[in-house]
Amino acid sequence: MVKVINQSFKIIDKLDGLKTLKKIEKIARICYKTEKLISEDGSSAKKLIKHLVDRGHTAMLEHGYSISVHMICNRGLTHELVRHRLASYAQESTRYCDYAKSKHGHEITVIKPLSFEDGITYEKYKYNIWEMAMLKAEHSYFELRDNGVLPQIARGVLPIDVKTEIVITANPTEWRHIFRLRTNEAAHPQIRTMMKNILKEFKKEIPILFDDL
């Protein structure tokens, strides 16, 4: 039986906003030789970094601490995400993961599309079509495995909505670039929702760096 779950994320690093701002300030002030203006309470860092952001001088933000986020999503989302080249990735491999084994529950797990809502007859009808397709994919996968086909070959029948886990690590400048593109109205609903939720957490934990997005 196919397991259906919602996409989700977890920020791996403990975000220390003030520490990040202070590091960026310490490095950025070398450009202007204004290190004497650094204050212990971080007020000078906040002022300088707001100035950098407002002026679009985001190259300095690359010196901030890299942030890793663990996402659980479908493979369609990750196909788009890994196109951001100035980041590092680690992703669950359908080549080496054998979903026929007990540690995977002898089932495939898929991500529920955001466009299907329970309780609405027409939407439920479309959801049923999608669910049937997932069941057929799972059946084909296990039938191939039962006949000795290796996971790296059997994965060919897995759908784009199959669950995957990916960790993306990037510096603040690259995260700003990702958010700017992937929260845009033209972005796919699945990735747009994910990135808007991550951005909300970043804004809460790291002031100034993401406030303008």
In the prediction, which pLDDT does 24 show?
92
In the prediction, which pLDDT does 120 show?
58
If asked whether residues 81 and 184 sit together in one domain, one would say yes
Which residue among the candidates 29, 75, 155, 182 is catalytic per the annotation? Answer: 182
Residue 213 included in any domain: no
Per-residue pLDDT tens digits for 142-194: 999 999 999 999 999 999 999 999 999 999 999 999 999 999 999 999 999 99
Using an 8 Å Cβ cutoff, are 74 and 189 in contact? no
Per-residue pLDDT tens digits for 54-65: 988 888 998 988
Q: How confident is the model at residue 126 (pLDDT cuts 50, 70, 90)?
A: confident
Q: Which of 65-79, 113-127, 165-179 has the lowest mean pLDDT?
A: 113-127
Question: Does 6 have pLDDT greater than 80?
Answer: yes
Question: Does 40 have pLDDT greater than 60?
Answer: yes
Domain containing 46 equals 17-64
Residue 133 included in any domain: yes
Residue 105 included in any domain: yes
Tokens 């027409």, located at residue: 122
In the prediction, which pLDDT does 199 show?
97
In the prediction, which pLDDT does 32 show?
81
If asked whether residues 109 and 182 sit together in one domain, one would say yes
If asked whether residues 177 and 82 sit together in one domain, one would say yes
| 95 flagged as catalytic | no
| Number of domains making up the chain | 2
In the prediction, which pLDDT does 117 show?
62
3-state helix/strand/coil string of the chain? CCEEECCEEEECCCCCHHHHHHHHHHHHHHHHCCHHHCCCCCHHHHHHHHHHHHHCCHHHHHHCCCEEEEEEEEHHHHHHHCCCCCCEEEECCCCCCCCCCHHHCCCCEEECCCCCCCCCHHHHHHHHHHHHHHHHHHHHHHHHHHCCCCHHHHHHHCCCCEEEEEEEEECHHHHHHHHHHHCCCCCCHHHHHHHHHHHHHHHHHCCCCCCCC
If asked whether residues 60 and 108 sit together in one domain, one would say no
If asked whether residues 53 and 151 sit together in one domain, one would say no
Residue 122 sits at the vertex; the CA angle it makes with 119 and 128, to the nearest 5 degrees, is 80
If asked whether residues 141 and 189 sit together in one domain, one would say yes
Greatest pairwise CA separation for the chain in angstroms: 71
Residue 211 included in any domain: no
- Length of the chain, please? 213
The answer to whether the pTM exceeds 0.75 is yes
Residue 212 included in any domain: no
- Residue 159 tokens, joined: 């759908």
In the prediction, which pLDDT does 118 show?
55
Angle between the N-to-C axes of helices 172-182 and 189-205, in degrees from 0 to 180, rounded to the nearest 10? 140
Q: Which of 35-39, 54-58, 112-116, 150-154 has the lowest mean pLDDT?
A: 112-116
In the prediction, which pLDDT does 106 show?
84
In the prediction, which pLDDT does 125 show?
83
What percentage of residues in the chain have a pLDDT greater than 90? Answer: 71
Strands 3-5 and 109-111: parallel
Question: Does 107 have pLDDT greater than 80?
Answer: yes
If asked whether residues 56 and 130 sit together in one domain, one would say no
